[in-house]
Structure 1
Amino acid sequence: MKRIVQLRVNGVAREVAVEPHHILLDVLRQEFDLIGPREGCGIGMCGACTVLVDGVPLSSCLMLAALAAGKELVTIEGLSTGSELHPIQQAYLDHNAFQCSYCTPGFILGTKALLDENPSPTPGEVREYLSGNLCRCGSYVKILDAVLDAAQRLHSASEAGGVSGSLGPGANT
C-alpha cells in the first residue's frame, strides 16, 4: 500500500507516493528524474548511489524511501548553482578525476561530506574517508589530487567571503 512521503531534495520540498519496499535510489531516479545517483552494485559496496542525507553520505540503494521522510537530501544535481560548478566539481574537472564518470557523483558527494567535516584532510584521511567508493577506471590518484585541491579552493573562497563548504548560494532557500 502506497503512502505519501514528504522529502526535501536539493533544497526543494517534494512529495511522492511510495510502497514500503521502494528504495531511495529508485525514487530519486524514477520519480524525480535525478540521474546522478547510480546503481553500481545494489548492495551498498561501491558508492555510485551515494547521496547526502542530512549531510551524511549514504548508499541510496540501501535506504528505504519512506525512511528519508523529513530528511534533507542532496544529490549531485543539487551541488552546483545554475551554470556555475561547485568548487569541488570544478576541482574534479580540472584534475580529470574521472574517466567514464559513473562513480564521479558518489565521489564528489563523499568529498563534500569529508570537507564539511574536515576542511584540511591529509591524503591518508581522504583515502580512508572515500574508501567506500570504487572507481573501476582506476582514477584514484587524480581523485586524491582533486580532493586536496578542492579543500584549498574552499579554504581560499571562505577567506575571501565566497562559497563555504555548504551548498552553493541560495541552494537551501
Structure 2
Amino acid sequence: MRFWLLKSEPDVFGYADLARAGREPWNGVRNYQARNFLRQMTAGDLCLFYHSGTRPPGVAGVAQVVRAAYPDNLQFDPASSYADPRATPEAPRWSMVDVAPLLALPRLITLDELRTLPAWAASPLLARGSRLSVLPVDRAQVQSVLQAAGTTLPALDEPAAPAL
C-alpha cells in the first residue's frame, strides 16, 4: 500500500462530493509530474483528500484508490477544458484513477496545522509555490493527520509490508 495526497478545490469537487458519489474518477490532471504519480497508484492505495484554493486549506478526508491508472477520458473530449488535441486513444497523454471515500475527518486539518506536525517537515506540500495536485506522502504523515483529527484507520495499524 502506498500513500498519496490529492488536491481539489472544494467549490469544484470536495470530499463531501466524493462521499455523495461513492466513487469518482480523479481526472483533469494536466501536470506531467502529477500524472506520473497517478500512473504509480494501484488499487488499495490510500489518499489524503486535501481542500485547496479555499480558506483555510487542509485535509478533509481519506479516500482509497479503487481503480489503477487508465487514460483520462477528458483529453479526448473537444468540449472539455481538459481536452488535449495531441492525445489520441492509441497514444493517450493523460491518466486518471478512480477513488472512493474511506473516512471523512471529524475536522479539517489545516495547512497551518500540518506545518506543526514533525512528520510533515520535509513535505513538498509545505514548500512555498508548491502547486502539484498529486503528491506522494508516507505512512507517518497519514498517521499524524489522523492523530491530529482524533481518529484512526484500522488498515494503518497493521505493520507495513517489507519492501522488496
Asked if TM exceeds 0.5, the reply is no
**Which has the larger share of helix?**
1
**Which has the larger share of strand?**
2
Q: What TM-score results when the alignment is normalised by the length of structure 2?
A: 0.32
Q: What TM-score results when the alignment is normalised by the length of structure 1?
A: 0.31
Which structure has more RCO (C-alpha within 8 Å, separation ≥ 6)? 2
